[in-house]
Amino acid sequence: MNINRKISWVHLSSKVKQLLVAVLSVTFGISMYIFMNSFMSGVNSAQTQITFTSMAHIRIYNDLPTDVHNILKPTKKDDGIVIVNNARNIRYTEGIKNTEPILESVSGLDDIAAVTEQLNENIFIRNGVTKINASLSGVDVENEDRLFHTSDYMQQGSFSDLEKRSDGIILGFKLAQNLGVGMDDNITVLTSDGITRIFKIIGIIETGSASVDKTRAIISIRAARQLFSKNSSYATDILININDYNKSKETAKKIAAMTDYKVEAWQDGNAQLDSANVLRNILAVAVSCTILIVAGFGIYNIMNMTVNEKIKEIAILKAMGFNGGDIVEIFLTQSVIIGLIGGFTGLIFGYIVSRIVDQIPFKIGSFTTLPIDYSPTDYVLAFLFGLLITAIAGYLPARNASKIDPVAILRG
């Protein structure tokens, strides 16, 4: 250990309380940085997970034509009169008539995590005199669970039972409450074409999304095709999840080249979700950085006080031959030591706080506690940023100390 570092250690060890205050300041800043980023990242992940319980990363469907031509053709003669009664634009096709070729093509892509098909229609559900509008989804049970992990959100019953019962139906828990029904009750489903059929409730689902839980009903896709008189490979939507949902747009472009149907990434119809995640991350970083900067001011004040207290010692050191660089090294070393000690204790304390918060009960969807994301990147950045702040806070007073005139100080 060289003489400069020995002097730094003597300064630190002679003021234990001052050292403790400085270390606690750094510890608090880094621990709060870790907790805030872990919590906000967990909230974002939870929000995204809840959103993707019913929405896929990529959707393929039969879109309305973008160019609706006027059915009246222009006449060559200006004096002609054309009378049209009750003009209508006719859409000749709806849904996807044959899903098998598309499913095979999409499944062959490298970054695909899961693919499923759905038959979605608006219906009425009646229980006695109560009649409620709902969204009925006919699903491929196995692939649906692989895509959305639907079985994890079952409040009552088993999702796999849909595969065994053609008359079984699963309701969102809010929808079931509004209808006043429960497990094993019978309800009547009415389609827009006037078809009615009785289903037995074999499950209640709670996704955490209020708009979904109060409107969604689920049956097997085979039962849905029978109900709406569709062929065995008909679907209204093909839903796709990829390994990284942030790359949905790039994958959607690849799939669009493989089919004439509309291919839509989740960002296209849900820009507000993406924006909300970005804003929450910015807020978390801003608050955390502010805490660290405030801690840095505390370190600066402590180092500034130390410089003022040691001003005569500094003058003596300079008179003995220590130059400005030595003085900077002495006080910068002190601040770095404070940063290292405070950094390591801050990492430990931040992790402990995160673990405590992670145990707080919070029931929504499949979550039972508050969401916390333990990202190693947050811990590394917190330590490096905390060390940088303390180094800057120590360097500024040290630089001022290196410029003092020892003769003027000793005479004063």
> What pLDDT, in 10s, does the model give residues 184-227?
999 999 998 889 999 999 999 988 778 888 999 999 999 999 99
Q: How far apart are CA 52 and CA 47, in angstroms?
A: 9
Q: Identify the pLDDT of residue 177.
A: 93
pLDDT at 336 over 70: yes
Distance of CA 274 to the CA centre of its chain: 8
Beta strands in 267-334 (DSSP E): none
What's the pLDDT tens digit per position in 6-46?
A: 877 777 777 778 778 878 888 888 888 888 888 888 887 77
Higher pLDDT, 175 or 363: 175
pLDDT value of residue 373: 87
Mean pLDDT taken over the chain: 83
What SS3 class is residue 151? Answer: helix
In terms of C-beta density within 10 A (0-12 exposed, 13-18 middle, 19 or more buried), how is residue 395 classed? Answer: middle
Mean pLDDT (whole number) for 343-357: 91
Residue 291 has pLDDT above 90, yes or no: no
Indicate whether 357 pLDDT > 70: yes
Cβ-contact 234, 214 below 8 angstroms:
no
Residue 77: the pLDDT is 59
Global pTM? Answer: 0.65
Tokens read off for 270: 């849900």
pLDDT-derived band at 93 (thresholds 50, 70, 90) equals: low
In the predicted model, what is the mean pLDDT of residues 239-252? 88
pLDDT 10s digits, 132-172: 999 999 999 999 999 888 898 898 999 999 988 889 999 99
* 109 has a pLDDT exceeding 90: no
High-pLDDT (> 90) share of the chain, %: 29
Note every long-range contact of 275-278, with CB atoms under 8 Å and residues 24 or more positions apart, other chains counting: 276/47, 277/44, 277/47, 277/48
Q: Is the pLDDT of residue 1 over 60?
A: no
**pLDDT confidence bin for 122, thresholds 50/70/90:** very high
- Return the top range by mean pLDDT from 220-229, 244-253, 292-301, 399-408: 220-229
The amino acid occupying position 398 is: A
Pick from 70-79, 244-253, 298-307, 391-400: least confident: 70-79
Amino acid (one-letter) located at 338: I
pLDDT of residue 215: 92
pLDDT band for position 304 (50/70/90)?
confident
Between vectors from CA 357 to CA 356 and to CA 359, what angle results, nearest 5°?
A: 70
**Residue 25: its pLDDT value, please?**
81
Q: Of how many residues is the chain composed?
A: 412
Residues 92-117, mean pLDDT to the nearest whole number: 86
Q: How many CA atoms lie within 13 A of 354 on its CB side?
A: 27
Sign of the dihedral through C-alpha 11, 17, 19, 21:
negative
Confidence at residue 43, expressed as pLDDT on a 0 to 100 scale: 81
Strand partners of residue 147: none
pLDDT of residue 196: 93
- Reading the block at residue 408, the tokens are 């003027």
Take residue 304 and report the two structure tokens written for it: 């500034």
Q: What is the pLDDT of residue 69?
A: 55
